């Protein structure tokens, strides 16, 4: 194989594919990046659960395939001088030259590298910004506890032009609805995608339209020459929609930015896992924390309250995760009692709220 490629193009493609390299590969070849030169240069990585593939333009003098240690290639490619990069295979070496810099990397047996899963059928497409926003809103509610795989995923329900995403860790539920361009008007599919993978995909594909593919226990995401496949989790998930609907007797509308700022300031004196206390009354909400060995803090923020005054407490980071997911100027906090969960939602004028976040309240000491 003999190719020449732009330094920045190579570094970006290597960084994209190297995201999925396992830290402890079950077999050595899984630590490698597969480079294939044909009509274009393709870089691939695979750990049996997640695959990543990036295709870039390159001057291909000789077609071929080579498997190179991935993390080392990533470190080298991002530190090269500003010049074109030439990669030539020579026996057991891949010789990488850029300007006066030259590296001879020992290759790995390409025939041992597993075949990447095929991209399943495309079911629809959505703008990368919308996709990244939706994933970013629901992902904080996904659990990090791998002993309960169902809770580590993001549920995706697709029905025609409507897409719903949801995640829960048992203490909160985050849900986001949006519209997209389905591949067929009657498409209907549901899947549980690992949240960690979906977050990485959403961040890196936000620049263009994202095509979503699903089938045979695999989900795929593709945009502007980048593609990822991931093995799906078990489809079992809670009936989250019924938990987001209730006849809320109390409603408070508050400007998001000053509310978030006040909570962050007051939380500085909150000891680990202690509550942020909110006291809603006509015209304002009082935010309080502390009172132990560290000290105490309090701040008031204007709000519009409908219903009775109420005092309620939350874990501060859980509360902030919900509020930072709000993309409208105002957030609506729906309440029933100090011992019941609260529903935080956006306030998009006359439209239905797109983002909803149910969070458990804490017992006040």
Interval 313-352: pLDDT, tens:
999 999 999 999 999 999 999 999 999 999 999 998 777 8
Contact call for residues 355 and 175 (beta carbons, < 8 A): yes
Under 8 Å CB-to-CB from 331, ≥6 apart: which residues?
253, 254, 255, 256, 259, 323, 344, 345, 346, 347
For residue 365, name the pLDDT band (cuts at 50, 70, 90).
low
CATH architecture group of domain 244-360 = Roll (3.10)
Q: Tell me the per-residue pLDDT of 37-90, one tens digit each, with 9 for 90 and over.
A: 999 999 999 999 999 999 999 999 999 999 999 999 999 999 999 999 999 998
Is pLDDT at 294 greater than 90 in this prediction?
A: no
Q: How far apart are CA 32 and CA 235, in angstroms?
A: 31
Give 282: exposed, middle or buried? Use CB within 10 Å, 0-12, 13-18, 19+: exposed
* Length of the chain measured in residues: 365
State residue 358's pLDDT score: 97
CA distances to 31, 117, 179 from 128, rounded to whole Å, are: 29, 23, 13
Please choose, from the candidates 60, 79, 64, the residue with its C-alpha nearest in 3D space to the C-alpha of residue 14: 79
d(CA 194, CA 109): 30
Cβ count near 88 (within 10 Å): 17
Q: Which class would CATH give 2-112?
A: alpha beta
pLDDT range class, residue 148, cuts 50, 70, 90: confident
If one looks up domain 122-241 in CATH, what number appears? 3.10.150.10
**Where in the chain are all domains bearing CATH 3.10.150.10?**
2-112, 122-241, 244-360
Gap between the Cα atoms of 211 and 131, Å rounded: 10
């Amino acid at each position: 194989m003999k190719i020449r490629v732009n330094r920045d193009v190579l570094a970006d493609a290597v960084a994209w594919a190297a995201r999925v390299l396992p830290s402890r590969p079950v077999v050595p070849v899984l630590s490698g990046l597969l480079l294939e030169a044909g009509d274009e240069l393709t870089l691939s990585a695979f750990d049996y659960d997640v695959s990543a593939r990036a295709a870039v333009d390159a001057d291909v003098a000789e077609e071929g395939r080579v498997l190179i240690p991935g993390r080392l290639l990533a470190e080298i490619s991002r530190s090269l001088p500003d010049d074109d990069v030439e990669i030539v295979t020579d026996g057991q070496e891949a010789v990488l030259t850029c300007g006066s810099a030259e590296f001879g990397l020992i290759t790995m047996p390409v025939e041992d590298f597993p075949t990447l899963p095929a991209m399943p059928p495309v079911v629809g497409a959505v703008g990368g910004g919308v996709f990244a926003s939706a994933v970013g809103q629901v992902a904080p509610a996904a659990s990090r506890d791998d002993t309960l795989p169902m809770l580590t995923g993001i549920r995706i329900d697709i029905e025609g032009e409507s897409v719903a995403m949801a995640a829960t860790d048992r203490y909160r539920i985050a849900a986001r609805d949006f519209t997209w361009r389905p591949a067929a008007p009657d498409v209907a599919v549901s899947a549980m995608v690992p949240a960690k993978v979906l977050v990485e995909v959403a961040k890196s594909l936000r620049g263009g339209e994202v095509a979503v593919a699903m089938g045979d226990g695999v989900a795929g995401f593709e945009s502007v020459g980048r593609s990822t496949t991931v093995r799906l989790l078990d489809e079992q998930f809670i009936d989250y929609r019924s938990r987001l609907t209730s006849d809320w007797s109390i409603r408070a509308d508050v400007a998001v930015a000053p509310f978030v700022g006040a909570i962050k300031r007051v939380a500085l004196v909150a000891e680990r896992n202690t509550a942020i206390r909110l006291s809603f009354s006509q015209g304002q909400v009082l935010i309080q924390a502390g009172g132990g060995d560290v000290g105490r803090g309090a701040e008031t923020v204007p709000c519009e309250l409908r219903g009775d005054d109420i005092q309620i407490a939350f874990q501060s980071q859980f509360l902030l995760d919900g509020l930072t997911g709000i993309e409208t100027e105002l957030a609506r906090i729906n309440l029933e009692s100090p011992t019941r969960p609260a529903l935080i939602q956006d306030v998009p004028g006359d439209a239905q709220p797109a983002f909803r976040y149910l969070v458990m309240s804490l017992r006040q000491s």
